[in-house]
Structure 1
Amino acid sequence: MTERNRDAASISFEAVGKAFAKPGGGTVHALEDVSLRVEPGSITGIIGRSGAGKSTLLRMVNGLERPTSGRVLLGAHDVGTARGRALRDIRRDVGMIFQHFNLLASRTVAGNIAMPLEIAGVAKSEITARVAELVERVGLSQQANRYPAELSGGQKQRVGIARALATKPKVLLSDEATSALDPETTQTVLSLLKDINRDLGLTVLLITHEMAVVRDIASHVAVIDGGRIVEHGPTHDVFIAPKHATTRSFLSGVTGVKLPAFVKSRLQNTPSEGGEEVIRVTFFGQHATDPMLAKLTGELGIEVNILAGAVEEIGSHPFGNLLVSLPAARGEEARRYLQDHNLNTEVLGYVG
């Protein structure tokens, strides 16, 4: 399928706030002063814990929620003020993938995919051709006449993706689309989304609570905490040098960057005589596979104990995190050596 959708649209959140009235009185502020631009054609992940405000933010892009303050722009269109036909046109430009699929049990795969086109009043012949293209794109040509009850979780999500693409949107929203799937199926769905982004040029905005999903698919990431964006930027840059405690907490859940419990329980804020300094060493780009710790020991005679670590890939960039301990008395010397060789270091604490 070589057809390319219409030009991707940017998404801009400009000083967005959202307040909800409490049933018993008072107000809950779900979002406060959120400013973020999602570049056209990018895959941007918004990561946050439950209740952080990420779902509310996502629902503003297609007008399911309206901001209490600020603006949400899809391209040049103000979503929050759109009504009637203008809002319907915006929603045609926005496809939505849901966590729990939201398929109609009484409709076949083809019937579920056709539904947005039927609602839009598209001719039957065009619907038939479009559905055939979409089931092929998501790898479900053999299942076109099956019902949701006959499908696996991954197949159901593929139907959801095809349905979201039916109206040839400019933007694809993903609401925790992989959180109900097993790890292997998650990878196939993420791979499909990357292919769609590449082939069709769509802007993809996804929300998740899993940093591994951001690592595997997103070109950009925004971290939301307590209704505010606390950090954002290219995924590679954020992984290399996380600035906010919430970001570092999420990164600690990615394989290879979590302190072993026996070390974490002994961690102190100040060094003790003869103790060890615990540091995170971040490798990236061409330095990700360099044997710098071996060189540190060989050239400076500083013994290094590796506590945890891994080398992975962020986009097309190698990326590694190592948690190590070394003599606290030589910590500054070691960190200066590593930084002189273009590696990032962060002191996590000290153990006796």
Structure 2
Amino acid sequence: MAEPAISFQDVTRRYPQKAAAGDVVALQDIWLDVPQGAVTGIIGRSGAGKSTLLRMVNGLERPSSGKVIVNGHDVGAASDASLRAIRREVGMIFQHFNLLASRTVAENIALPLEIASEDPARIPARVGELIERVGLTAQASRYPAELSGGQKQRVGIARALATAPRVLLSDEATSALDPDTTRQVLELLQSINRELGLTILLITHEMGVVRDICSHVAVIEAGRIVEAGETYSVFSRPGHATTRSFLQGVTGVAVPHFVAGQLRDTPQDASAEAVVQVTFTGRHATDPMLARLTAERGVSVNILAGAIEEIGDKPFGSLIVGLPSGRLDESRRFLEEHGLMTEVLGYVG
């Protein structure tokens, strides 16, 4: 198995405060491997520790304990000279673009090459190649004030690629963009990952971004990784409440309000209906299993909410259904025997 591109090994980051207040712990006991060539998302709410984790990769933050290994280099232990070399292999895209207003598109992209003391004669060709890759050939001589938000982010991506990094970091790169522009930027990042083989580590608070681009995901809450793995596995079998709350916005699995207000922990009488979340994955994901449950077992199914879509190239769906409480065990066995997952959310009269 290939060594991970980035490895967080028991990483903790504390910020000392006045003695009476105690330290602020931004990250605690972080173990996480980012696979080579993968697009990995770190998702969490504001203040969860996402940005601190990302800044560990290029040495803008150093761990209080533990190690951050990037392409075989211990970032926290690196000397200034070694850290400069590591940073050449790590590009970064920012939420608010961070472009220099006094420089044109081409000049902004050239800046990292100038800082790295690249041969001036080689810079124009490299810049031209990058401008073409991000689709801004016609805007090469324009200034940031003349660009749309999506165009500014494309400049930021080209600039991050200037030194031919092996790792690309994305700090909420699409959160300031409209949905259509977000889709275009994500498609560009996917093509870069695919064509250049770059490892991409991105932080976001939007599970839709993870669904659309990430092969792997880690969920962070209060400075700890609470869940991590391949995106499809995490989406289909979320094990933590934070993950499930994020997923409600992208998989259509929220219980409708008119049902949620009536839910009880136990059935009130024999006519009660069990409210069940059914998750469709694997080879039966697109099969009409609920229709078969009705046709073969005579169980009536009340579909309350749901959606079926793709994560990567795999079908994934989640439905909220009502099943007769008296036939709940039989219904769940039937569905689970065919590879579906079920969870009882409660009962309604």
- Asked if 1:126 is matched to 2:118, the reply is no
Identify which of 281, 294, 298 aligns with 1:297.
Answer: 294
- TM-score if structure 2 supplies the norm length? 0.97
Whole-Å Cα distance in 2 between the matches of residues 333 and 125 of structure 1?
74
Amino acid at match of 2:5: S
Alignment partner, residue 155 of structure 1: 151
Q: CA deviation at 1:94?
A: 0.3
- Asked if 1:350 is matched to 2:340, the reply is no
Amino acid at match of 1:236: Y
Alignment partner, residue 212 of structure 2: 216
Where 1:185 maps in the other structure, the secondary structure is: helix
Identify which of 301, 308, 313 aligns with 1:311.
Answer: 308
Amino acid at match of 1:21: P
Alignment partner, residue 30 of structure 1: 26
Q: CA deviation at 1:8?
A: 10
Q: Which one is further off, 266-275 or 65-74?
A: 266-275
Q: CA deviation at 1:9?
A: 6.5
Whole-Å Cα distance in 2 between the matches of residues 284 and 9 of structure 1?
28
List structure 1 segments (4+ residues) > 6 angstroms apart after TM superposition: none
Identify which of 268, 271, 281 aligns with 1:272.
Answer: 268
Q: CA deviation at 1:278?
A: 1.0
Whole-Å Cα distance in 1 between the matches of residues 100 and 131 of structure 2?
16
For residues 173-226 of structure 1, the C-alpha deviation after alignment (integer angstroms, 9 at most, x for no partner) is: 000101111111111100000000000000000011111110000000001111
Where 2:121 maps in the other structure, the secondary structure is: helix
- Contact 1:104 1:148 (C-alpha < 8 Å) held by counterparts: yes
- Asked if 1:337 is matched to 2:320, the reply is no
Alignment partner, residue 15 of structure 1: 10
Whole-Å Cα distance in 1 between the matches of residues 149 and 65 of structure 2?
38
Where 1:125 maps in the other structure, the secondary structure is: coil
Identify which of 128, 139, 157 aligns with 1:143.
Answer: 139
Whole-Å Cα distance in 2 between the matches of residues 232 and 269 of structure 1?
30
1:1-352 aligned within 5 A: 10-22=5-17, 25-273=21-269, 274-352=271-349
For residues 59-100 of structure 1, the C-alpha deviation after alignment (integer angstroms, 9 at most, x for no partner) is: 000000000110000021100111211000000000000111
Where 1:338 maps in the other structure, the secondary structure is: helix
Q: CA deviation at 1:328?
A: 1.4
- Contact 1:8 1:41 (C-alpha < 8 Å) held by counterparts: no
For residues 227-278 of structure 1, the C-alpha deviation after alignment (integer angstroms, 9 at most, x for no partner) is: 1111111000111111111111111111411111111122222222121111
- Contact 1:43 1:217 (C-alpha < 8 Å) held by counterparts: yes
Whole-Å Cα distance in 2 between the matches of residues 57 and 201 of structure 1?
22
Whole-Å Cα distance in 2 between the matches of residues 258 and 218 of structure 1?
23
Whole-Å Cα distance in 1 between the matches of residues 334 and 9 of structure 2?
42
Whole-Å Cα distance in 1 between the matches of residues 234 and 155 of structure 2?
33
- Contact 1:9 1:203 (C-alpha < 8 Å) held by counterparts: no
For residues 142-194 of structure 1, the C-alpha deviation after alignment (integer angstroms, 9 at most, x for no partner) is: 10111111111111100000000000001000001011111111111000000
- How many residues align structurally? 346
Q: CA deviation at 1:25?
A: 3.9
Q: Which one is further off, 138-147 or 327-336?
A: 327-336
Identity across the alignment (%) = 68
Q: Which one is further off, 288-297 or 10-19?
A: 288-297
- Contact 2:251 2:317 (C-alpha < 8 Å) held by counterparts: no
> Which blocks of at least 5 consecutive residues in structure 1 are unaligned?
1-6
- TM-score if structure 1 supplies the norm length? 0.96
Q: Which one is further off, 25-34 or 266-275?
A: 266-275
- In structure 2, the CA distance between the partners of 1:160 and 1:127, relative to structure 1 (3 Å rule), is same
- In structure 2, the CA distance between the partners of 1:223 and 1:110, relative to structure 1 (3 Å rule), is same
